[in-house]
């Protein structure tokens, strides 16, 4: 579930977005958008044809950075 900070990261006019994009790039933004749409990391990995184990580190960073919270 996205936090307010996570929603700011998706809003292109915020400084949070710029910092997030610099750190995680378009792939990170795409993953955060997918989480905002309710997709699980496993569903995103299938849709994006990626590896689930690679997303684990991103999820941990997103939680630690306050962008998402564990549900």
Q: What is the pLDDT of residues 35-69, one digit of tens each?
A: 999 999 999 999 988 888 889 999 999 999 999 99
pLDDT at 71: 61
Its sign, for the CA torsion 32, 38, 41, 44, is negative
pLDDT at 61: 94
Burial 47-68 (b: 16+ CB within 10 A, else e): eeeeeeeebeebeeebeebebb
Give the Cα separation of 43 and 52 in Å (integer): 9
């Amino acid at each position: 579930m996205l936090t307010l900070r996570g929603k700011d990261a998706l809003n292109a006019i915020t400084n949070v977005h710029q910092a997030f994009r610099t750190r995680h790039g378009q792939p990170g933004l795409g993953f955060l958008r997918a989480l905002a749409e309710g997709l699980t990391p496993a569903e995103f990995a299938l849709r994006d044809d990626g590896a689930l184990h690679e997303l684990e580190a991103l999820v941990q960073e997103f939680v630690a950075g306050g962008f998402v919270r564990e549900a």
